[in-house]
Amino acid sequence: MKIWSSEHVLEHPWEMVTTAAMQKYPNPMNPRVVGVDVLDRHVDPSRKLHSHRLLSTEWGLPSIVKSTNISFTNMVSVDERLTYKQHPQDPEKTVLTQEAIITVKAVSLSSYLEGLMASSISSNANKGREAMEWVIHKLNTKIEDLAVSARGSIRTPMAAAAALVEKK
């Protein structure tokens, strides 16, 4: 079992970041994500929103794996958790904490394979952050366009929401 974690500050308020996280796909950094579905969604009594989503991805297993019928899904498990929290010192920023637990259920090579997967997760984490910046930029452009077309009389309501929202 291998644990990988990293912390990163996004220079955007939490409301923008979570809105972007909900609309993360499609983006040019993650071309392998080909589908996103919501399997369940509800607000619990403590007003926390739960979303259970299914991401459909195309990883393109090499043909040698397909022909020898090895089932990697039973051997490798990666459990990844991303947490976005308002920055404790600056409400205009968000802290992203990423953790991954990697387990390879093979007798030999497991620590080597786990190490490989950790490197892969680490470089993918950079892509993921780029993807978030891309989505945020797109959303901000949309907001600016709306403001211009409304002749600038309406400011984005997101900043005003900051005081009202319970932070996770």
Partner 1 sequence: MNSVGEACTDMKREYDQCFNRWFAEKFLKGDGSGDPCTDLFKRYQQCVQKAIKEKEIPIEGLEFMGHGKEKPENSS
Chain residues in the site for partner 1 (CB under 8 A): 15, 18-19, 22-23, 25-26, 34-43, 47, 49-52, 54, 56, 77-79, 157-158, 160-161, 164-166
Query: Is residue 26 reached through a cis peptide bond, with omega within 30 degrees of 0 on the bond before it?
Result: yes
Closer residue to partner 1 (CB): 25 or 134: 25
Q: Is 64 or 102 the residue whose CB approaches partner 1 more closely?
A: 102
CB of 78 to partner 1, least distance (A): 7
Reduce the secondary structure of 33-91 to three states and give it as a string: EEEEEEEEEEECCCCCEEEEEEEEECCCCCHHHHHHCCCHHHCEEEEEEEEEEECCCCC
Token pair of 136, please?
């945020």
Return the number of the residue (64 or 166) whose C-beta is nearest partner 1: 166
Q: What is the dihedral of CA 120, 126, 127, 131, to 10 degrees?
A: 150
Q: Would strands 2-10 and 94-104 be described as parallel, antiparallel, or unpaired?
A: antiparallel
- Tell me whether residue 64 or residue 73 sits nearer to partner 1 (CB atom): 73
* Least distance between partner 1 and beta carbon 161 (Å): 5
- Min dist CB 1 to partner 1, Å, is 12
**Least Å distance between CB 39 and partner 1?**
6
